[in-house]
Structure 1
Amino acid sequence: DIAKLDAYELAWLRCRKIGYIFQTFNLIPVLTALENVTLPMIFAGVGREERLRRATEILETVGLGERLHHKPSELSGGQQQRVAIARALANNPVIVLADEPTGNLDLHTGLEIISLLRELNKEKGVTVISATHDLKMIDVSDRIIYLRDGRIDRYETRAEVYVSIE
């Protein structure tokens, strides 16, 4: 029951079990892609060599193996989003919270990010919870929960949504 956790326990949980993908990426501008991805691992107490190995592996997984030493200003929007996703995965979370993960991206890059999120769910068992207005996200969602004024308005499965769209 997380309601009973104290501040330290909540911080531990957030650091090690939950990954965050922000709409505006929130990358640290003076750090390289590799350094941005290693940052959460520092807070989790992961050793330097392990941090570098894992960050390199994750960045390669998201297609940025050639851009490890580039700063955010040297990356496209899609590349920055992939760094943000890699950073969210740094501590092997069981849940990823994504705020408009395709909101600042062109169509092609948005589809790549959607595919990557689906792959995380299917291959690694990561639960992805996304706040979005992008209808393409329906293709990778098992459940859709509609909110109105901060409350659940209705709940549908992907099949039910497809029926209502057609």
Structure 2
Amino acid sequence: MSDPTSLPGLPVTFRPGHTRAILLTAGVVIFVVISGIALLLDIGPGSRLTFVITGALIFWVLARLARVKVVADASGVTVVNIAGKRRLAWEEILRVNLRPGDPWVFLDLSDGTSLPALGIQPGIAKQRAIADATALRALAEAHSAPSTLPHEPRS
């Protein structure tokens, strides 16, 4: 996929669509069921509030799981994982890996570390994840290619 015409247009966002829909739907259903149970039970207002807060907390956790994504633009890549967000310049990304059995894409970085990119995961939609990983790999290779201009000597 080194052909520049096959690169996706920037900016492009990669995210696990099916997984996101399932997590958010489950979060809403769980919140509604737990809150409904709180209203149906003959309990005090403090206990009802505890039920509603528990349902909201479960929804919040599932929403955090659903927020993962990888956004590529002209200046680099933003990786949004469950607990954090990291911005990378294209030059920092040495390799985009999605090996058989990997739960998500890993980005090998120039500082010697590897960053998981949960926005591309082969769980439910394996072929989509492979296509997304291939597209991100092609973008990384195209944007971090060495310059064709001669280097100026440093003094």
TM-score normalised by L of structure 1: 0.21
**Larger fraction in helix:** 1
Select the structure of larger CA radius of gyration.
Answer: 2
TM-score normalised by L of structure 2: 0.22
**Larger fraction in strand:** 2
